[in-house]
Amino acid sequence: MFYGEYEHALDRKGRLIIPSKFREALKEHYVERFFITRGLDKCLFMFGEDEWKTQEQKFKSMSFTKSEFRRFNRLYFSGASELVPDKQGRILVPSYLKTYANIKKDVYIIGVSNRIEIWDRTGWKEYYSTSKDSFEEVAEKLVELE
């Protein structure tokens, strides 16, 4: 549903506009609300409501008696916030999430199929430059696992 990478900036009120391609996909799938939370690799994960419920069910089924599951669920769900874009497609990212992802102004908004990732511009460039050369190697390993 979400594909591509887009460079954007927060406006002076700290709002972020969702790329038009993503807004089109949202309309097609009748998504009106998002859930945003701490992601992995110091980015933010943003899910449409249905996908969020799917993820929530998966994580709720983890055994709370295991410390890793408790830790993950605490950090993941305590960071979650519900967002409804305004008529211009803007969202207000909570300040604690901007701090987590080191977002100040310039960002990359990345489509990763079922979710949107929001990265600090510098963070995305560093991640991409250190990961792109291993893309084929990782692909080969993942195909071997199937």
- 99-116 pLDDT per residue, tens: 999 999 999 999 999 999
How high is the pLDDT of residue 117? 98
pLDDT value at position 140? 83
Torsion from C-alpha of 2, 24, 96, 60, nearest 10 degrees: -60
Question: CB neighbours (10 Å) of residue 109?
Answer: 23
The total of structural domains in the chain comes to 1
pLDDT on residue 75: 92
State how far the Cα of 117 lies from the Cα of 8, in Å rounded to an integer.
13
| Residue corresponding to tokens 């207000």 | 92
Q: Where are the beta strands (DSSP E) in 52-138?
A: 81-83, 90-92, 106-113, 115-120
List strands edge to edge, sheet with 34-38. 2-9, 106-113, 115-120, 44-48, 34-38, 81-83
User: Is residue 143's pLDDT more than 80?
Assistant: no
State which residues form the domain around 138: 2-145
CA distance 134 to 146: 19
pTM across the whole model: 0.91
- Give tens-digit pLDDT for 20-53: 999 888 888 888 899 999 999 999 999 999 999 9
Q: What is the mean pLDDT of the chain?
A: 92
So what's the pLDDT on residue 63?
84
Higher per-residue pLDDT: 5 or 140: 5
| pLDDT, tens digit, 9 for 90 and up, residues 86-101 | 999 999 999 999 999 9
125 token code pair: 């460039």
**CATH (domain of 101):** 3.40.1550.20
How far is Cα 123 from Cα 43, in angstroms, rounded to an integer? 8
In which band, very low, low, confident or very high, does the pLDDT at 145 lie, cut at 50, 70 and 90?
Answer: low
Check: CB of residue 93 under 8 Å from CB of residue 79.
Answer: no
